[in-house]
Structure 1
């Protein structure tokens, strides 16, 4: 007997039945593992917390359980310097006679600043500086003859707030050589020496060498009339040669130097210095 419609279950045809939407009631539905009561909430992991504290001393590091525990209830220690045998404070005592040494260029610029405040159109400054008592030897017409005769000659000298510097030319007699400038601030009652440094070759095919020297000037030489005397010594191949300006020595004298400058130009230079 054949069954009519509605008398029995209909035959299932592939694709004839749609899947029922499924709602995820808990996160465990996404996990193949069984749901965890209550509420099917995922298990929370505690966050590891560390307590920040000062670096312990060596005995505390070696002691068991030195690491910070869960509650971090360790009491912090405060150590003072005197407990470790140190001083709590350092005291510097200044005497009344210990006046600061102010460089000349600072004093000069302070004088310029004061003149800028109360001056008219043109500014005039008076500076005290060391001035050579001789013209630059290298500009002399007989410089080459002098160098050939005594094998060492001073080229030029410059003076600044840092001291005295210059260059010396010597004949390249041998590879090993030494150039020294001997100078005095007391009229040769006492003397000092400054070793010159090799700067480079000169002349035809390196037949000559150039040396550079410099030495500081004490503050008391910035008084009017103070002098510096010096001479150049050249040692090479077991011999010694001198350049002492023909027996008169090279000298520099502290003199006053007047400087005239327009106010606007001086103000711009002072602002540039700042």
Structure 2
């Protein structure tokens, strides 16, 4: 048995949510020596580049979570033209959605309906579109930004497990992104509907959005939330963040030409993923 498969298998019996909440409490500690020990060890272990941070001094952060979700200095991530990456990370997969199916990893696929919370009506327009999945490693910048300007139509909290979302787990745990706890955000854009799915993972204590604050953890049922006033966010604006790392899945209702992008390349927030000049309307 390969080490990656073993790593995936040993996660099944673990108390995912309990472990994640305990780590979340530790990440919020204000005990000076302890939070500083955690931050310094993390920077050393993952070779974090603090020169990009708005506040480069690790001692200035009140807790580990403040450090982990640190903002970048002005100009650190230029916003390019077209469809841009919502986050720093690894583009693990991208391409077309065929008959409501997305690629998770080689030999692994999952359903767009399941990903978006199990509502066939919500998923219908995305069944023949495009998608891109970005994995945020521990060393990455962990705020998520808008890849296009959009107006929020619906936010859906979907309960689930909290498997790790690294490549080893994606290779061996079926329906990983449709199985983990996640937050689905449906936006209307000039290019049609767009879904941004923030997928929780092992030791992710919470997911936040700029319009509603901390969302997870909630109760153990799917919850659809709509807002009285329109919420419009410009391309490049922050839309949410992970307290510890995870994955973002973007879904579109049209075919998008991702040009020469291939799985496993590194991307930065604001970097162009598509010029959007080759969109084909399937409607």
Question: What's the TM-score once normalised by structure 1's chain length?
Answer: 0.21
Q: Which has the higher contact order (CA 8 A, sep 6+)?
A: 2
Question: What's the TM-score once normalised by structure 2's chain length?
Answer: 0.21
